[in-house]
Structure 1
């Protein structure tokens, strides 16, 4: 829903259960690189509807009840905090897309529990169309067991009535989320992100340089500016300041140390408890290695059972519908009655390729015809970039399939040589990712998500590079859509990368399966956190229909040889199942398009190679994509 952060200071942190052999950190902070204002400003850049904060003061020699009273009445400006030993500072930025009434995070209940939430609940916990996810979740969390919540897993019976634990409740949520929750009765802070990492959450574990524990949706850009003044290596040191928090649920319970009696926050990680979620995260497919006769009868299923491609289409359509439902708050925000008819509430990150064409067609199925649809396309080579050419062709096919919809191709042109400040800013957004490939992808996503480009009117026929397109008079346009559909997860699950073909050739079906499994189990670290931060910086919320839990489960239930057949040429055997889905949607031209990554389709990789390595040839010799960004000065 936008962004969250927590700063824990004055508390010794025990990481021994996560990092065996580690010693509890000291509680003192000497001139930290990051201030609270730095983090607030980074979250404010995301264009939230509101930004709020709350403090919790921890005390060593007073009762829980007295501590609750102090936290209830002590204002942030009050400096006199009796016997205060530690401070928890919660920051919540809200881009509100659900709920009839506006909210300001952090949310607090009458028991002193505090929640900051960045996510959407699409299932598992019931949320009415006029309700807000965070408010519903806070109420549900308030009913969770706290008798021994730090260790407790599953239902609790100690209180005389069955209660879920916090990990048990969070395991049921379908949808992307990251959260931080203070459970006052147990003096426990819960935090984490969903099982696939669809929402960013960065962590700074205490170090000798900065002994605070910090959690944040994004790395503040001005912290890099500050550190770069301290020496030539400090810019990279700041890039290493943050880590992507591995997916899961964590807790910090505050208690007295057995050694010296001082108060220590003990960090633990908890397992998912929902059986379906465990099945998806293990990412095991029953049918991996086909028999010869199974290849010969591939795709034949007796009625009334759906064909594999039909089952995937049903799951994808429902995933898009869940992510684009127009609820009460969304329709009321920003748009008066005159603007409501015709505006575009949802946009698609659009290359004209297979994945984005499927998402656009499904969005057309799910969205009321009165709304327009923005298709955001970025190019670093204007009309000559492959993705711009395929986008023109894609819009033409979408108009043929759905002529009554107003499709708006938003052409976002960029010149890498003129993006010095923007490049520096995106470097902070992708942190802790640090390669030129990460930067290229991050820049392309960040510019595309801005929606700031041109749309065309007064169209006349023309042709370029053997593609028909509609030449037009362009007018300046900025997409105001707050929801952006992104095709992440399609390549990982359907064998869309070149390395999948390489693994298939060397290791056959089992090798292909293992490579795809590896991709899915590391997508949180390699892709999703970075992409979420770059998109959210524009006041947009990225939503990933291909990573819907039901879509993942549907794809895992299909034999691997129905998903892909890499013995066939590119554009046919790779992502075979999605090509069949495209044909079911009437997208016959898109169904045969080859895979093309955004950094190549937009041509930012070529421009980056020329800028940073002198030529494409030199960049290839240096394996430019994996080269780390060594110094900020090199970005100028």
Structure 2
């Protein structure tokens, strides 16, 4: 999928029953139009973009105010004329003359952009069924709901939701009316989906608008709650450029940050309409709903099976090192022998389980069966590169690349997208070149292309402004640095070097190249789950295993706000779909079932003990050089942080003294 947006107007929204955080600060004066939202979604290069309107009104002809009945009409995206011909098109035919109603009319405008990756036949969002239900959906179903290999998952989801009862909506009371009839509720269907999603769904039978995003926020969804200056309710996959360009969103006044948009918290929400609460107005009440999946609730709580080792358990684990070919584990640990190169390597069963879960996760995200090609044709099959990897040559991207090679048809090439702001000297460029050599060693028949994307921060004036709109509502220099690096990398617009006939890198010819892969694998979630950040080592030093576990839990429970929305928006702007194998529900479950001291060992130096279990996985894949690489964040490995510090603070030293990463951007 690609992106979704909704504008709700003419409805007074009651947020008193919702636990959503609401800013009471003044907001900048911003105007966001339907055309702005369409333009932002169209930039993503969708195969189709469509919109529908739902007009809400209620019948004044009924004698009692309490008996007033809401009438909804689904129309194409066009101006609605207040005449009898319009009313004759009402689906239920119960509305009176529009000119004589005299009451406010609510309007819901749905916009759906589709980057179609599944199903044989072309589709256009919004989906509308025969019952008057409307769905716009941005996500992928990798489990929980069965999708045939030749079906589009959005169509399957629409059919599944159409069979739902009205239970769970705000206005429903009493037991489920469909109990025992094989029906489910909307929250239960949302909770069943395995994979990333953001959904907006109108359920006609209950006059309820459902919306939300998956439990880890892997698909962006930003929201504007009604205010005095703008009484509309807006939801969107992306902040349009106009909402940043017109305002002082990034300015800080009296230490308080104001913004038109905010990230929607992960969860399931409903907005049900009530025509009788306030005379003369249509009123909607927002409520939060519990997840209906017990296993998902466990993942959200992120409770590890064990994080406080006994002395004998810890002693055995600490003896292990990836610098040698043999790993030592206590007698009580499950171990297995793995052939890798000339020697045998002793690998723990937990590492084997992680590798199996990751392999399945990549397989689901790289599946090419019956893929919709949107009219694309290739003169030769080998020209087609369906999946790329955001590639630094580091541990996480090397594991994803090796697994992708195992899962992808051997006739396809794989693009490795690497961005640098310091030419061939950036650390990530150096490790990427070493990494592709190691990949060619373990998979010599695969056509690997290292796409070198070079950039100069001083020349990115307009591009920086655009990325500011993409990261919005994120607003720090660190967010901007990461956003620019991701945005440029995902573009796939760079250079490739012809593979030399000898081992020498001299006299290679660089050719202009743009990756056409529509799917990009990203390593997000690996550091949070396997203790890859420097602050994890600090927490372990100060608070022991308990402190480390709490810090990792905090990281996972806030990843939607700090990382995922921002990253999804920056990558999707290039007509790419980001997929996050490390954040697969089954991978998270497997990692939580492993004792923390088997996942990481922060008593050992960087490049050895941090992300210990992933280093074992890399060894099992034959990636011996990648297995000992230290962690390096994209803003540092690409050198954009250094260039940004020089540009905005004068020097790296001045930036460090100012804690530049957390400083909010001032656009004035």
TM-superposed CA distance for 1:336, in Å, is: 2.2
Residue 252 of structure 1 is matched in structure 2 by 271
Residue 607 of structure 1 is matched in structure 2 by 643
2:613 to 570, 577, 582: 577
TM-superposed CA distance for 1:85, in Å, is: 1.4
Rate the CA distance shift 1:613–1:73 in 2: closer, same or farther, 3 A.
closer
Larger radius of gyration: 2
2:469 to 425, 428, 446: 428
Q: Structure 2 matches for 1:301-450, cutoff 5 A?
A: 301=334, 307-330=349-372, 332-336=373-377, 338-450=379-491
Q: Give the conservation status (yes or no) of the 8 Å contact 1:38–1:222.
A: yes
TM-superposed CA distance for 1:17, in Å, is: 1.1
Residue 4 of structure 2 is matched in structure 1 by 4
Instruction: Tell me if 1:518 matches 2:551.
Output: no
Q: Matches of 1:231 and 1:313 in 2, distance apart? A: 42
612-621 or 149-158, which deviates more? 149-158
Rate the CA distance shift 1:302–1:572 in 2: closer, same or farther, 3 A.
closer
2:589 aligned counterpart, secondary structure = helix
Rate the CA distance shift 1:289–1:132 in 2: closer, same or farther, 3 A.
same
Give unpaired runs (5+ residues) of structure 2: 87-97, 318-328, 338-346
Q: Matches of 1:15 and 1:448 in 2, distance apart? A: 40
Q: CA RMSD in A?
A: 2.8
TM-superposed CA distance for 1:146, in Å, is: 1.1
Q: Give the conservation status (yes or no) of the 8 Å contact 1:155–1:162.
A: no
TM-superposed CA distance for 1:307, in Å, is: 0.5
Residue 604 of structure 2 is matched in structure 1 by 568
Q: Give the conservation status (yes or no) of the 8 Å contact 2:528–2:552.
A: yes
Rate the CA distance shift 1:54–1:21 in 2: closer, same or farther, 3 A.
closer
Residue 326 of structure 2 is matched in structure 1 by none
Q: Structure 2 matches for 1:273-288, cutoff 5 A?
A: 273-288=292-307
2:221 to 197, 201, 211: 201
Residue 59 of structure 1 is matched in structure 2 by 57
Rate the CA distance shift 1:74–1:626 in 2: closer, same or farther, 3 A.
closer
Q: Give the conservation status (yes or no) of the 8 Å contact 1:223–1:238.
A: no
TM-superposed CA distance for 1:293, in Å, is: 1.0
Rate the CA distance shift 1:433–1:184 in 2: closer, same or farther, 3 A.
same
Residue 80 of structure 2 is matched in structure 1 by 78
TM-score by length of structure 2 reads 0.88
Q: Give the conservation status (yes or no) of the 8 Å contact 1:224–1:238.
A: no
TM-superposed CA distance for 1:471, in Å, is: 5.4
Q: Structure 2 matches for 1:472-483, cutoff 5 A?
A: 472-483=508-519
TM-superposed CA distance for 1:79, in Å, is: 2.4
Rate the CA distance shift 1:377–1:258 in 2: closer, same or farther, 3 A.
same
Rate the CA distance shift 1:485–1:18 in 2: closer, same or farther, 3 A.
same
Q: Give the conservation status (yes or no) of the 8 Å contact 2:58–2:68.
A: no
Q: Give the conservation status (yes or no) of the 8 Å contact 2:598–2:613.
A: yes
Residue 202 of structure 2 is matched in structure 1 by 182
Residue 235 of structure 2 is matched in structure 1 by 215
Give unpaired runs (5+ residues) of structure 1: 25-29, 463-467
1:227 aligned counterpart, secondary structure = coil
1:425 aligned counterpart, secondary structure = helix
Q: Give the conservation status (yes or no) of the 8 Å contact 1:392–1:469.
A: no
2:290 to 264, 268, 271: 271
TM-superposed CA distance for 1:337, in Å, is: 5.1
TM-superposed CA distance for 1:226, in Å, is: 2.6
Residue 541 of structure 1 is matched in structure 2 by 577
Q: Give the conservation status (yes or no) of the 8 Å contact 1:130–1:328.
A: yes
Q: Give the conservation status (yes or no) of the 8 Å contact 2:485–2:640.
A: yes
Q: Matches of 2:379 and 2:119 in 1, distance apart? A: 22
